[in-house]
Amino acid sequence: MADLSIIIVNYNNFDVLKRCLPSLMPALEKIDTEILLSDNGSTDGSLDWVRQAFPDIRILANERNLGFAEANNRALAHVHGRYILLLNPDTILNRDSIRPMFTFLEHHPQTGAVGCTLTNPDGTRQISARSFPTLLTYFLHFSGLAWRYPHSRFFGRFNMTYWDGTTARPVDWVCGASLMFRSEIIKRIGGLDPYFFLTYDEVDFCRRIKDAGYEIWYTPDAHIVHLEGQSEPQSNLRPEARLKYLTVERNSRVRYFVKQHGILYATLVELLHLLMNATLWIKAKLLGTNQPPIRTMEKGLLLRLYWRTALRIPRACWKTLTRTNCNTPKRQGSTVFVNPYLADM
């Protein structure tokens, strides 16, 4: 049995993999490690490069883009480490990136998972540990109160901006760009929920870990540079590509809140999203904004997404009411919340 299994999900991430993998090897000194690359049908030549440059990395070639959660689950079925690290390809590591998390789990048996300090390439800290999202935290975020009063424990509760990240502490969840956990957890609660195609998968996973009686911790001793937004599909700025990403993000958010709080609560969260994004988009169009143009474009795309969804609801209801034959096969997935990445295949 290896000490550590590292899983990296790849989907046309050649550019960032060329920086991630060479930086990973020095960080694994004196740790018995296996590395698995779960590839979601990449066509950018990244697999050929990995096979040639890093022949010891085990490659699991999936037939299509399965999403982040399911691609990790495919790899989880083949790992042998006592601890497992889910690592994004858009990361750059140093010698202090892996060992502190590994040592933390060794010395804290009640800790189920641990995250670390994520920084931008310029050295500024990213928010990598948060409290669980709620209707209140979304309101505080959209209203601007969370950013106006970042040092308040009430207003800054979601991103925990009242805390500088220089001390180890228990948290609700840590960013999935670098998430290390005990392999025994998979036997107890299973893998990631595959219905989270992108985003919210680590939030749900950490919640299930805590529900199983473990603690989630953040340690500042491990440092990883995270090239946030530079992996596919987050890096694609074309409007239709952004709409796809925003669609699956919305789908994951709805699933998370339905799963944890019920359908009424999830509906209220989506109504808040709709109202606040519409308000910010109208304000940007009428009065201008200091936000980057991509943010204003995304708000317009979100309104388009909600409009498309609203048009699907009557059709879905009508199909349900007129389905008289109970033997009629049902389509896989929801006709309201369509996954565009799968719909295109």
State pLDDT tens for residues 90-102: 999 999 999 999 9
Asked if residue 133 lies in contact with residue 203, where contact means CB atoms within 8 angstroms, the answer is: yes
Task: Name the amino acid, one letter, at 266.
Answer: A
- Indicate whether 291 and 249 sit together in one domain: yes
Tokens 């033997």 — which residue?
Answer: 327
Phi, psi of 86 (to 5 degrees): -90, 120
Reply yes or no on whether the pLDDT at 10 is more than 50.
yes
Selected residue with higher pLDDT from 237 and 274 = 274
Q: Are residues 89 and 187 in the same domain?
A: yes
The reply to whether 113 and 202 lie within a common domain is yes
Q: Are 173 and 130 in contact (CB under 8 A)?
A: yes
The answer on pLDDT for 319 being more than 90 is: no
290 vs 37: CA distance, rounded Å: 40
Same domain? For 79 and 190 the reply is: yes
Q: Answer yes or no: are the C-beta atoms of 333 and 247 closer than 8 Å.
A: no
Residues 112 and 48 in one domain: yes
Within a domain: 285: yes
CATH number of the domain that 77 lies in?
Answer: 3.90.550.10
In a shared domain, residues 36 and 107: yes
- The Cα-based distances of 170 to 113, 163, 175, 214, 215 in angstroms read 10, 12, 14, 11, 7
Report yes or no on 163 lying in a domain.
no
Looking at the domain assignment, is residue 139 inside a domain?
Answer: no
Q: What is the pTM of this model?
A: 0.89
- DSSP labels for 110-170? TEEEEEEEEE-TTSPBP--EEPPP-HHHHHHHHHSHHHHSTT-TTTTTTTTTTS-S-S-EE
pLDDT of residue 297: 77
Q: Is the peptide bond before 55 cis (omega within 30 degrees of 0)?
A: no
Q: With respect to residue 77, please indicate whether it lies within any of the assigned structural domains.
A: yes
Q: Could you tell me if 273 and 299 lie in one domain? A: yes
Domain annotation covers residue 192: yes
**Higher-pLDDT residue of 343, 34:** 34
Section 47-69 average pLDDT: 95
Q: Which of 202, 226, 250 is the last residue of a domain?
A: 226
Do 36 and 60 contact (CB within 8 A), yes or no?
yes
Clarify whether residues 119 and 81 are in a common domain: yes
Statement to judge: residues 74 and 31 lie in one domain: yes
182 in any annotated domain: yes
Q: Is the same domain home to 196 and 309? A: no
84-88, 159-163, 253-257, 291-295: range with lowest mean pLDDT: 291-295
Measured CA to CA, the distance from residue 43 to residue 24 in angstroms comes to 23
Tokens linked to 293? 């143009």
Domain annotation covers residue 159: no
Tell me: do 194 and 70 sit in the same domain: yes
Residues 253 and 118 in one domain: no
Number of domains present in the structure of the chain = 2
Mean local confidence (pLDDT), 86-115: 96
pLDDT value, residue 300: 84
Structural domain that includes position 338? 242-324+331-343
- Quote the tokens at residue 94: 């140093």
15 domain residue, yes or no: yes
